[in-house]
Structure 1
Amino acid sequence: MANQDSTNPSHDLFEQFVQAQTCKEVQRIFSELCHHLQVDPRDYQSFYTKLKERLNYWKAKSLWVKLDKRAQHQDYQQGEVCAKNKCLVLGAGPCGLRTAIELALLGAHVVVLEKRDSFSRNNVLHLWPYTISDLRGLAAKKFYGKFCTGVLDHISIRQLQLILLKVCLLLGVEVQTGVEFKGFVEPSGATGWMAKLFPDNHPAGKFQFDVFISAGGGSFVPYGFKRKELRGKLAIGITCNFLNRHTAAETQVAEISGVARIYNQKFFQDLLTETGIDLENIVYYKDDTHYFVMTAKKKSLLKMGVIKQDFSDADKLLAQVNVDQEALLRYAYDAAQFSTGHCLPDMQFAQNHAGQPDVAMFDFTCMHRAENASLVRERKGKKLLMGLVGDCLVEPFWPLGTGIARGFLAAFDTAWMVRSWGKGRPHMEVLAERESIYQLLSQTTPENTSKKYSAFSIDPATRYQHVNLNSVKAFQVKNINIIYSFYFYNSVGAFEVLLKWCQQHTAGYDRVNVKDLNQSWRSGLALCALINTFRPRVIDMSSLEESNAVYNNQLAFNFLERELGILPIMSAREMSFKGQIDKLSMVHYLTQIHDAFNERTPTKAPLSAPKVNPDPVNLDLEPSLMPGISSNEECYFCCQRVYVLERISTEGKLFHRSCFTCHQCGTTLRLGGYTFNQHTGQ
C-alpha cells in the first residue's frame, strides 16, 4: 500500500495539502492537485463530486465521509436551495471562511476576498463545546492532529484559518488573497452588482453577485450599517505570544484557564510584590505559541513606565505615542514568567505580521456592535442582500472567549438568511427574521444554547433554546431596505466621490466653499448654487445673503421637493441653526440630488443669473412653505409636517418620534411594543 501511495502523484499532493502550514502553500498545492486530477475549481457545482471520484485514495475517505455527512443535511436540500445565488464574502478570517462553507453547501457560487496574502495571527481562541463538535464534523482533526488534545479547549487563529481554508477549497469556494475590496460597482443595464477591487484589473472584479457578506472585521463595516458603542469601566488588555519549541520542558508547564483576582488574591499579591505588576486576571494557553492574555491596572502600567502619561480619554491613554514599547515588552515578559512559575525555558517573543514582537495592548472597555445584521439594497431593479458576521457584527469580549463561538453562530444565522433569500421569500420577511435571530446573539452563552451539539445546523431552532423567528415584524425593517444609490457602499469611497461631485458643481460661486458633506451646507448657499448649476435662472444667487440661512435653505427645499420630489430631511430652521448636521442624513439627501441631476448636463450660464418669478417664501408659517403636503407626510397625532430625521412609520402611518407616546402614561413607545386601537386611533 505504501509503495502504491508513493508512486501516485495525486496521493502525494493530497498529503502535502493536508499538512500544508501556510496560506500560500495551501493554495499552491491545491492548484497543483486540481491540475493533476484535471478538475476545474471554477466548476463549483460539480467540483467536489469530481474531486472525490478522481482522488481515489484510502486516506482521503475519512475526509469525504465527514464532508458528505454534513452536505447531506436536509437544510441544504442537496445543494439546490441556493444554486442560483452568487455570494461575495469579504474577509478570510475564521468567521468569513465558516460562512463561505455554509453558503457552498447550500449550492451557491461563493467567492472570498482577503486583503492579506498570509495567515499570521498567533492569538489563541477559546472554544465552546459546540464549536469543537462543529469543527470535528468538518474534519479538523484530519488537518490538524493536535486539535483539542490538551486539557483546555482552544486553537490558534492561524490554525483555524488553515483548517477552514482547506475545507472551503474542497467544496469549490474561490478564495482570492492579496486583493483589496474598495467598494461596490452598481448594476448597469446588462450587469449586476460587482466589486471595485485593488488591483483594479483583478479577475474577481468581474464577478456579479446578489449576496454580500462582510467579515472584514471591526475596521470595515459597509455603508448603511450603524454601530453602537458599549463602554464600561476602564479595562486594559494585553496579549502576547512566545515561541513554542515543543520541548519536553515546555510540555510540562500547566495552562491557566483563567485566574481572576477575586478567586486567588495571594497569586496576584505575590505577583505585585515580586514584579510590581498589578493584574485583574490572566489566561495562558499553549498552542502554536505560548499565548497570554491579561487585564492590567492602569496605575501599575503608569508606575512601570509602560504608559507615559495619564489621560482620562482611553484613546489618548493607549495611543502609540503614549506607550513605551520596550517597557510593555518587559511587563508582558515578567507577567508570563511569573504566572508559569518561571518554568518556560528561553522565552522569546513570536513575531506578528509586521515582523515585530507579538505583543499588543488595547482597550477592553469599548466594544461595538451593529444595530442590525442585514439590509437589502436595490438599484435598477437588482437587489443585493447584505449581512455582517464576525467582529463587524459584534466585537468579542476576550476574557469571556465569546468571539469565535458567537462568530460561528452568526455565520450559521447568516447562512439561514441566505437560504431564505434563495428560496424566494419576500425580502422584507427575510430581513425581519434575521433581525429576530440577531436579538439573541449577545446574550448567548454555553449554558443557554442547546446541548445537542451533534444536531446543530444552520436552522436557528437547533441551536437557540428559545427563539422567536417573528419577534421583529416586516414593517419594522423598512429602514434597512434601501433603494437609493450611493456610488460605492464603503464609507470612504462613497463620501469622496459624492464630495468631489458637489465641489465640481458649486465651484466658482461667491461665498460657497464646500469642504465637507454636512457643515458646509448650513447657509443654504451651496444648495442654491447646486440647483443653479443645473437649472439656471431659477434662483438669483446675487440676491441671497449668507446671514439669511433659513430663507436660502427654504428656497432650495421648495424647489427640490416640488420639481424633483426630494423631501427635506429637516426644517430650514434646523438646517440653519442645528448644532451639528448629521452627515449620513446629508449624504442621503445629496445623493438623491445627485441622482436626479446626474442625467442632465449642467447648463453654461452666468453664476448669478436673473431670477424669473421665484416662489414666494413665508418664513413665519413653515407648513405653508410646502405646497401640496399630502396626509401621508403629516404626523398622525399632531398633523404637522414630519421630516425624514424625526420620522417613525408604523401601522401605515407617520409619527414624530416625540409624538409616538402611550396615550395613557405618555411613555415613549418602541416599535412592536404597543397595541393600537383601530376604532379610537389611540
Structure 2
Amino acid sequence: MEGNENRSQDQAGQIFENFVQASTCKGTLQAFNLLTRQLDLDPQDHKNFYPRLKSKVTTWKAKALWNKLDKRATHREFKRSRASMSSKCLIVGGGPCGLRTAIELAFLGAKVVVVEKRDTFSRNNVLHLWPFTIHDLRGLGAKKFYGKFCAGSIDHISIRQLQLILFKVALMLGVEIHVNVEFVQVLEPPKDEENQRFRRKEFRGKLAIAITANFINRNTTAEAKVEEISGVAFIFNQKFFQDLKEETGIDLENIVYYKDSTHYFVMTAKKQSLLDKGVIINDYIDTEALLCGDNVNQNNLLSYAREAADFATDYQLPSLDFAINHYGQPDVAMFDFTSMYASENAALVRERGSCRLLVALVGDSLLEPFWPMGTGCARGFLAAFDTAWMVKRWNQGSPPLEVLAERESLYRLLPQTTPENINKNFDQYTLDPGTRYPNLNSTCVRPHQVKHLYITQELHHFPLERASSVRRSISLARRESDIRPNTLLSWCQKQTEGYWRVEVTDLTTSWQSGLALCALIHRFRPNLIDFDSLQEEDVAGNNQLAFDVAERELGIPPVTTGEEMASAREPDKLSMVLYLSKLYELFEGLPLRAVDSTGQNNALFSDNSTVFNSHLNLILPRKRTPRVESKTEENDMNKRRRKTVSHFPEPSSFSNRSTGSEREFGRLQEGRNQNKVKSMAIQLQAKLEENASNHSLRRQGTLRKEFPQTLGGSDTCHFCKKRVYVMERLSAEGHFFHRECFKCTVCATTLRLAIYAFDVDEGKFYCKSHFNRGKANPNLRKRRAELKNLQEEAAVKWKAEEAQPPKSPTESVCTTDSSVETLPPGYQDHLGDAPTSPKKPRSLPERYDFESGYSSVSSEWPSVRVVPEQEMTERNLLAIRVLVTSDGSRYGGAGPSMGLPGGATQAAWSESSMAARRPPAQPTGNSQASIA
C-alpha cells in the first residue's frame, strides 16, 4: 500500500512539474486537465480546490510555492477567502491585468470566470517592471515558474511569460478560464441607449511613431556580453543619435533594448527618416492612413529595425534573426501612440429589477500605458488591487454610490503614480489603498457626483448630457467638447424636422446633399438662406452656400468645400461632428420667432436685435480663461482693446446693432469652444488698431467691406490655384496655399514651415536636400540645365541666409524645431484636422490596429498561415529546446527550423544568416485559419 501511495505521489509530483514548466497556453491547460483527473479534483469547486490540490501535491518544489501563496492569502483583507464568497465575477480578457485581478478576487473567495478570445500567448514584447511589481510577482511564486525572472538587476519580462505565470497561478487558485470564448455584451440595450460603453477621453500630442522588433536570443556567450539599453533619449545622448543618423540615415528620438526570451528593441522613429528610408511610401497627414499596411514597405521596415538594433548594440550581436509572430511573419511592428486614451470613469452599476451588476475597467481599457515609462503593468496591477478592494466593499453592504465614489477617488490618483511617489514598504501592500498610496484622500469624489454612474431602468427620465459635477483627473485634463454625438444627432433631427426632403439619420451621409445644413441655418436665421429655391440635385452648390453663409454671417470656418462634399463617397464623421458642434454651440438655447410672409424674421433679426452680429464675433477679442499669474495683464489688455474699438466713429445703425450684440455675445460666449476663429479675431483686431492709429475712417466703411462676400475669408492657393479657406490656409514667402499642396517641386515630399527652401527667382518651394544638392545631382542638372546659374546663386544665397538669424517666422527655414511654432496664433488647433485622404472608421484604440502587416492580413487571409503557439515558441526560443529524434535519442540546442529543409540544423542556417543579415525564410502552406 505504501509503495502504491508513494508511486501515486511521485506521479502527481511529475505531472505538477509538467504543469509548472509548460511553455504555452494550450500546453498549460492540457497539463492542468491531466493533473485534475489524476488527483480526482473538481475545478468547479472553487472554494475547496486550492486546499485539496495543496494536500495532494507535496513535493519540495510544490511546498515552496504553497508557502508563498499561503502568505498572500493570510492578509486580513481576504478574511481567509471569505470576504466575497457570495460574489460571482466575470473577467473579460486574459491579459496580465485581467489575470492579476482574477487572482485577487479568488483570494477574496469569489467565484471567478475568465473568458479569453485567443488560445495562444504570442506577444514577445517586453514589459518594464516597477520595483513593487517585481516584489508582487515574486510573492506569487514567479521565480518557481520562470527561473530567470528578474535575476540580478533585470527589471523586465516578456508579455507571454508574464501571462503564463499569472495563468498558472489563477488555475491553481480555482479560477475558471475559458479560451476561444469572446465576450459580446451583457444585455442587448435599446437603440437609443447611450450608456452601453464607458466614455473615454483622447489626449493627442505630437506625432509619435514607435517600432518594436524581436530577434531570436540563442543565449550564446557573445550575446550575454551585450549590455542592455534601459532607455536612451535624444536630449541626454545627442552624439549617439547624431552618429546613428550620419552612419545609417536613421533618425530616432529614443531607443530601448531588453535582453529577455528574445532580443527586444523599441524605438521612436521620426517620420521624415521613415520616408527617406522608404519605410513609409506616401506622406499623409492622417496617421491611420500614414501607417496602414498598404503604405508601409515591409522589407524596408525590417532593414530599418535591423540597422538600428545593430548600431545600438555596437554590432556585438552575432546574428539578428527575427523572431516570428503568430502569423508566421517577422515580429516587427510599427504603430502610432500619438493618441492616448483613458476612460472617464473606472466603474458603474447597472440595476434591473432587484439585481445589481457592478462593472469595472482594469488595464489598458482603463488607462492606456506610455511604454517609455513602463506604466502599463504597474498601473494595471494597482488598478487590479483597487478593483478588488471595491468588490470587497461591495460585498460588505456599502451603499453603491459610496463604493463608486471611492473608486473614482482612487482613479484620480492612478495617472499620477510613479515609482517614486508610492509607498516603498512593499511588504505591507494589501488590497487596502492606504497601504499603497501615501496621503490618500478616498473621499475627494462625493456620492452625489457619481449618480450618473448608477444606471437603472428609469434612466430615460434623466438628461443624457454629461454631469457637470464630475471633475476630471487634474493630470489628464484636456480641453474637450461637452457635446456627445448622440445628443448632437438628436438635436439636429429636432431642428430639421419638417423640412422638405431633409431626413437626418446620422452625422455623415444625411448631410451630403447640403439641404440639411441649409435647413439647420434657416431654422434659426431664415433671412440668410432662401430654402425654397434650393435644388436637391445641386449638391455642391447647396453645401457651398451653407459653408459661405456660416463663414460670412456666423463666423464658423468651413471644414471642406462644396465640391469635396459632392465628390466624397461619405463625409468624414469627425469633421462633420466638429462643424455641427459649432452650430450647436451657437444656436442652442436661442428662442425661435415666427417668420413673416416674406421669410424674414423681423422681430429677431432687426437692427435693434439682441442676437449678436456675426462680424462682432470675428472682430471683438475672445474672452479667454486667464491664468492666475497673468489675470491682471489680460484684463488691462482687454480694457485697452475695448477703448480702442470705442474710438471708431461708426454709423448709428451699426452702433445700435453692436450694443445689443455685445450683450448677447457675452451671454452666448459661455461654454463655447474658445479656439474658434481665434486667429481671425486677432488679425482683424490688429487691422482695426492700425486703422485707428492712421485715422483712416474711410477704409472701414461697413463690416461687409472687412469681410468681402466674394472671397468668404479665403484666398487662392499658390500651387493648385483653387480656393483656400482661412482656417486651412498656410502662408510662406508671401504666398497662401493648402497644407496638402505645400510640397517640394522635385520630389513632391510634403514640406513643413520650419523646413523648406524657396527659390525667389523661380517662385518654387523645395525641400532642403534637393535645394542644396541640385548641383550635385546629375538628373536634376539635366532637368534644369537652363537654370543652372540661377540655382548656384540661389544656393549661395541660401547658405548666407542660413548662417544669419531668421528675420521672421516665414523667413526661417530650419531654425525651429516645430512647424507649428511659426504659425499665427490659433492656426495650430486646425492644422491637424485636414487630412489629405478620407479617414476610415475609428475603432477601439488597440495598438494592433496599427501593427505593420496586420491590416493586410485579413484581405489575404486564405494564404496566411497562423502558426501554432508551440511551433512559434520552439522557433523563437531555440536555446532552451530539447528535441527527440526519430530514433529516440535526445539532444539539446539547435534543431530543425521553420521554413528550412528537413535535416538542416538551426546552427547551420544561423551561420548563413549571420553572413547575409537577412530575415528568416517564411513558412509555406495554405492551411485555413480562424480567429475567435
TM-score bracket for this pair, using the shorter chain length: 0.5 to 0.7
- Residue 58 of structure 2 aligns with which residue? 56
CA distance in 2, matches of 1:4, 1:141: 27
CA distance in 2, matches of 1:424, 1:519: 50
- Residue 477 of structure 1 aligns with which residue? 450
- Residue 394 of structure 2 aligns with which residue? 421
- Residue 213 of structure 2 aligns with which residue? 240
CA distance in 2, matches of 1:521, 1:85: 49
CA shift at 1:136, angstroms?
A: 0.4
- Residue 48 of structure 2 aligns with which residue? 46
Alignment map for 1:9-408 (pairs within 5 Å): 9-185=11-187, 223-408=196-381
- Residue 653 of structure 1 aligns with which residue? none
Matched AA of 2:21: Q
Matched AA of 1:404: C
Instruction: Using structure 2 for the length normalisation, give the TM-score.
Output: 0.50
Matched AA of 2:243: D
CA shift at 1:519, angstroms?
A: 8.3
CA shift at 1:85, angstroms?
A: 0.5
CA distance in 2, matches of 1:436, 1:244: 44
Tell me if the contact between 1:518 and 1:581 (Cα under 8 Å) persists in the aligned partners: no
> Kindly tell me: are residues 230 and 514 of structure 1, through their superposed partners in 2, closer, same or farther at Cα, counting changes over 3 Å?
closer
What are the superposed Cα offsets for residues 57-114 of structure 1, whole Å, 9 maximum, x if unpaired? Answer: 2321111111111011001111111100100000000000000000111111000010
Matched AA of 1:138: L
SS across alignment from 2:263: strand
Matched AA of 2:29: Q
Tell me if the contact between 2:156 and 2:258 (Cα under 8 Å) persists in the aligned partners: yes
SS across alignment from 1:180: coil
SS across alignment from 2:72: helix
> Kindly tell me: are residues 304 and 620 of structure 1, through their superposed partners in 2, closer, same or farther at Cα, counting changes over 3 Å?
same
> Kindly tell me: are residues 222 and 111 of structure 1, through their superposed partners in 2, closer, same or farther at Cα, counting changes over 3 Å?
farther
SS across alignment from 1:384: strand
Tell me if the contact between 1:85 and 1:109 (Cα under 8 Å) persists in the aligned partners: yes
CA shift at 1:314, angstroms?
A: 2.2
CA shift at 1:170, angstroms?
A: 0.5
> Kindly tell me: are residues 12 and 372 of structure 1, through their superposed partners in 2, closer, same or farther at Cα, counting changes over 3 Å?
same
CA distance in 1, matches of 2:197, 2:159: 29
Unaligned runs of 5+ in 1: 188-220, 487-494, 500-509, 523-544, 551-576, 583-617, 622-665, 669-682
CA distance in 2, matches of 1:241, 1:372: 35
CA distance in 2, matches of 1:447, 1:667: 40
CA distance in 2, matches of 1:327, 1:96: 36
Tell me if the contact between 1:519 and 1:581 (Cα under 8 Å) persists in the aligned partners: no
> Does 2:426 align with 1:468?
no
What are the superposed Cα offsets for residues 646-679 of structure 1, whole Å, 9 maximum, x if unpaired? Answer: xxxxxxxxxxxxxxxxxxxx998xxxxxxxxxxx
Q: CA RMSD in A?
A: 3.3
- Residue 415 of structure 2 aligns with which residue? 442
SS across alignment from 1:132: helix
> Kindly tell me: are residues 266 and 222 of structure 1, through their superposed partners in 2, closer, same or farther at Cα, counting changes over 3 Å?
farther
> Kindly tell me: are residues 294 and 473 of structure 1, through their superposed partners in 2, closer, same or farther at Cα, counting changes over 3 Å?
same
CA shift at 1:513, angstroms?
A: 7.1
CA distance in 2, matches of 1:74, 1:357: 48
CA distance in 1, matches of 2:437, 2:395: 23
CA shift at 1:352, angstroms?
A: 1.3
Instruction: Using structure 1 for the length normalisation, give the TM-score.
Output: 0.67
- Residue 777 of structure 2 aligns with which residue? none
SS across alignment from 1:361: strand
CA distance in 2, matches of 1:168, 1:13: 18
SS across alignment from 2:341: strand
Which protein is bigger by CA-based radius of gyration? 2
CA shift at 1:313, angstroms?
A: 2.6
> Kindly tell me: are residues 142 and 578 of structure 1, through their superposed partners in 2, closer, same or farther at Cα, counting changes over 3 Å?
closer
> Kindly tell me: are residues 279 and 138 of structure 1, through their superposed partners in 2, closer, same or farther at Cα, counting changes over 3 Å?
same
CA distance in 2, matches of 1:441, 1:179: 30
SS across alignment from 1:266: helix
What are the superposed Cα offsets for residues 94-143 of structure 1, whole Å, 9 maximum, x if unpaired? Answer: 00000000011111100001010010000000000000000000000000
SS across alignment from 1:416: helix
CA distance in 1, matches of 2:579, 2:208: 33
CA distance in 2, matches of 1:29, 1:363: 39
CA shift at 1:267, angstroms?
A: 1.4
CA distance in 1, matches of 2:457, 2:506: 21
> Kindly tell me: are residues 485 and 169 of structure 1, through their superposed partners in 2, closer, same or farther at Cα, counting changes over 3 Å?
farther
- Residue 638 of structure 1 aligns with which residue? none
CA shift at 1:548, angstroms?
A: 11
CA shift at 1:515, angstroms?
A: 5.4
> Kindly tell me: are residues 414 and 10 of structure 1, through their superposed partners in 2, closer, same or farther at Cα, counting changes over 3 Å?
same
CA distance in 1, matches of 2:257, 2:205: 25
CA distance in 1, matches of 2:22, 2:243: 44
Tell me if the contact between 1:152 and 1:257 (Cα under 8 Å) persists in the aligned partners: no
Tell me if the contact between 2:215 and 2:320 (Cα under 8 Å) persists in the aligned partners: yes
CA shift at 1:8, angstroms?
A: 2.3
CA distance in 2, matches of 1:225, 1:178: 25
CA distance in 1, matches of 2:256, 2:156: 12
Tell me if the contact between 1:519 and 1:580 (Cα under 8 Å) persists in the aligned partners: no
SS across alignment from 1:184: coil
CA shift at 1:323, angstroms?
A: 1.4
Tell me if the contact between 1:111 and 1:174 (Cα under 8 Å) persists in the aligned partners: yes
SS across alignment from 1:89: strand
Matched AA of 1:393: L
CA shift at 1:253, angstroms?
A: 1.1
> Kindly tell me: are residues 339 and 89 of structure 1, through their superposed partners in 2, closer, same or farther at Cα, counting changes over 3 Å?
same
What are the superposed Cα offsets for residues 564-615 of structure 1, whole Å, 9 maximum, x if unpaired? Answer: xxxxxxxxxxxxx996489xxxxxxxxxxxxxxxxxxxxxxxxxxxxxxxxx
Matched AA of 1:35: R
CA distance in 1, matches of 2:379, 2:195: 20
- Residue 560 of structure 2 aligns with which residue? none
Give the count of matched residue pairs: 490
CA shift at 1:223, angstroms?
A: 3.0
Matched AA of 2:182: E
CA shift at 1:429, angstroms?
A: 0.5
> Kindly tell me: are residues 35 and 337 of structure 1, through their superposed partners in 2, closer, same or farther at Cα, counting changes over 3 Å?
same
Matched AA of 2:101: T
CA shift at 1:318, angstroms?
A: 1.8
Tell me if the contact between 2:9 and 2:56 (Cα under 8 Å) persists in the aligned partners: no
Tell me if the contact between 2:9 and 2:57 (Cα under 8 Å) persists in the aligned partners: no
CA shift at 1:478, angstroms?
A: 0.8
- Residue 644 of structure 2 aligns with which residue? none
Alignment map for 1:525-564 (pairs within 5 Å): none
